[in-house]
Amino acid sequence: MTETIGSPTRALFESLAKLYKQGQLLLMDADRLMGEHGWEPTNTTAPSGFSYSLNTPERWYARWAVRFYVPIASGGDAPSIDQVLFVSIHFASDLNTSLPTDIDEPLISAGCIKYKKPMTAKVANKNYDYYMCKYWFFGKPHEALEGWRRTTNSKYSENLKGSETFTVPLYQITSSEKLKELVINPLFAVREEEEGVA
């Protein structure tokens, strides 16, 4: 329980700042845990999709933050990246956009973006974008993975095979151990299963 002193408006913004701060720490911890599995973040940013326009105040604040990951040492000239993993937090509904989302309690969405042909890191960088962290909201139930959703193909990227994603309520992540158990481990359990089958 957070004690707040001051006006309701101040409490509102301080609560928002605290929520974002917790989101920052969670994503930094996700970076650490993904690193233990041999995956590294593709860049240093997290939130995106802001608007500077006077006409769209609903996009003046971060509705989500996301980290994308590729295998460590995949930055060479050989095309080796056929999946990009991500962990994202969806704090609030994304309204008046081409991919709107509807959020009540905040969610973590994680998953993988799969490609038909392996790519170099340079090519991979042009083949994923921040909006892909919203794929769960538009996916269909996954036939093989309970609670997961999937999308197939994309009109924007010829090489995109699809996505496999799942969500966890943000407030269930009460510790670093929970982040590992509920978000990171399921991501890699699926990968290991696939590699075993292959």
Partner 1 sequence: MHLIMAEAKYYSGLSSEEDERTEPNDQLARELDNLDTVSCATLGWGTHLEIASRALLFVTQDMGIPRNPLVKSLAEYRRKRNKDGNIFWASWRFLPPILEQSLEQESIPENRAVIADMLELLLRKGLIMFGGVEPITEYFALPEFYHITPTKYSWPVIPESLDIDYAFEVTR
Minimal distance, residue 3 CB to partner 1, in Å: 11
Q: What would the DSSP string read from start to end of the chain?
A: -----S-HHHHHHHHHHHHHHHHHHHHHHHHHHHHHTTEEES-S--B------TT-GGGSS-SEEEEEEEETT--SSS--EEEEEEEEEE-S-B-SSSS-B--SS-EEEEEEEEEEEEE-HHHHHTS--GGGGGGGGGPEEPSSSTT-EEEE--SS-TTEEEEEEEEEEGGG--SHHHHIIIIIHHHHHHHHHHHHH-
**60 scored as a contact of partner 1 (CB under 8 A):** no
- The rounded Cα 78 to chain-centroid distance in angstroms is 26
Q: Of how many residues is the chain composed?
A: 198
Single out the residue of 8, 57, 76, 196 in contact with partner 1 (rule: CB under 8 A). 8
> Does residue 176 interact with partner 1 by CB under 8 A?
yes
Can you tell me which of 2, 7, 43, 53 binds partner 1, judged by CB under 8 A?
2
45 lies in the site for partner 1, by CB under 8 A = no
Q: Residue 15 interacts with partner 1 (CB under 8 A)?
A: yes
Among 22, 80, 154, 159, binds partner 1 (CB under 8 A): 22
User: Which residues in the 70-109 window bind partner 1 by CB under 8 A?
Assistant: 72, 105
Report, in Å, the least distance between residue 171 CB and partner 1.
Answer: 4
Among 133, 170, 184, 190, binds partner 1 (CB under 8 A): 170
Q: Which of 116, 117, 122, 178 binds partner 1 (CB under 8 A)?
A: 178
Radius of gyration of the chain, Cα coordinates, nearest whole angstrom: 17
Restricting to residues 104-163, name those near partner 1 by CB under 8 A. Answer: 105
C-beta closer to partner 1: residue 32 or 116: 32
Minimum CB–partner distance for residue 28 and partner 1 (Å): 5
Kindly list the residues in this chain that would bind partner 1 in the complex (CB under 8 A).
Answer: 1-2, 4, 8, 11-12, 15, 18-19, 21-26, 28-29, 31-33, 35-36, 40, 72, 105, 170-171, 173-176, 178-179
